[in-house]
Structure 1
Amino acid sequence: MVTLASFYWGWLLGAALLGFGMGWIAVVHRGHGLSKAAAGWLGLLLVVLLGLALARVVPGRPGYWLDLGLVLLAIYLAGCSVGSWLRYWVVSRHESAA
């Protein structure tokens, strides 16, 4: 994990910033979400990929890219949640003052 952070710190920072921006925008955008079936399939896919990475079943370069992709996804989702929470906090604080 330290190797991923030291070699790909720019990409990890980019994923965090992109996630922050998307989280900030997502509070404003009220589009259609995923259906329950699609969300279930995506969740199952994520669990399978995480299980493969934790069990170290995928060897070599594909396993390395799997680990990197999962770390980038986790950092992106963390940035999304921070951006969404911060936008909600700023907007709700502004409305309560008015």
Structure 2
Amino acid sequence: MLLPHAETLAQARSYVAALADHALTIESSSAYERVLLELDRVHGDDCPALDTEDLTDDRDILLAVASKAVEELEDFGVDPLAVELILAMLVDAHDLDIG
């Protein structure tokens, strides 16, 4: 994995982790954690560390940035179907979070 790919993946993972941290229910937090697990699975568990320090608490901003980073993974050779699955999981987790 080249540096730009690792940076994009780290950004996606960090923002999804922040969403899990700020989730309103345990169910929605678990749903975000499943998104992280799928990101890790797609990358063969070769994943950079999370950095959620100094990220906004606004879940809508976190969702937008996480979604954009996940979409950008296609540019680094991640299967488009896997990206769509991850995005769908992320939207489902967000829908569960907002009730």
- In terms of fraction of residues, the more helix-rich structure is 1
TM-score normalized with structure 1 length: 0.31
Q: Which has the higher contact order (CA 8 A, sep 6+)?
A: 1
